[in-house]
Amino acid sequence: MKTYWITWSVLLVFTAVMLWADSASLPRQAFVVFMLIAMLTKATIIAANFMHLKAERLPLVLTVVIGLLGMGAVLWLLIAPDATRIHEIVTKYGPR
């Protein structure tokens, strides 16, 4: 149980820092890069401890990591064009 409590505490600290970064006046690009790094770090901690990947062999870990990152890229590629289009419509005509 000690490992789970330590992991939970580390994730809580990461979450608090991410919330602070959201309210801080960081430049947009620095904020996005920081959040991406923080989210990937949190995902790595969760996968290693709660999915027990830290005790697995490298091929299985790579399969999971590459699969998750690949699926994230596919979802982003499918969603990003709609987000861009909606942003252009709202910018041009205003919110409904």
- 38-70 as b/e, with b when 16 or more CB fall inside 10 Å? eeeeeeebebebeeebeeeeeeebeeeeeeeee
Q: What is the pTM of this model?
A: 0.69
Give per-residue pLDDT as tens, 12-32.
999 999 999 999 988 999 999
Q: What separation in angstroms does the CA of 74 have from each of 12, 21, 26, 44, 64?
A: 29, 27, 29, 20, 15
Which residue from 64, 69, 66, 40 is spatially nearest to 54, judged by alpha carbons? 64
CA 17/CA 2 separation, integer angstroms = 23
What pLDDT is recorded for position 55? 87
Domain boundaries, the chain: 1-55, 57-96
Above pLDDT 90, what percent of the chain? 57
What pLDDT is recorded for position 45? 92
Q: In the predicted model, what is the mean pLDDT of the chain?
A: 91
What pLDDT is recorded for position 95? 75
CB-based contact 76:69 (threshold 8 Å) = no
Give per-residue pLDDT as tens, 30-50.
999 999 999 999 998 998 898
Residue holding tokens 């290693």? Answer: 48
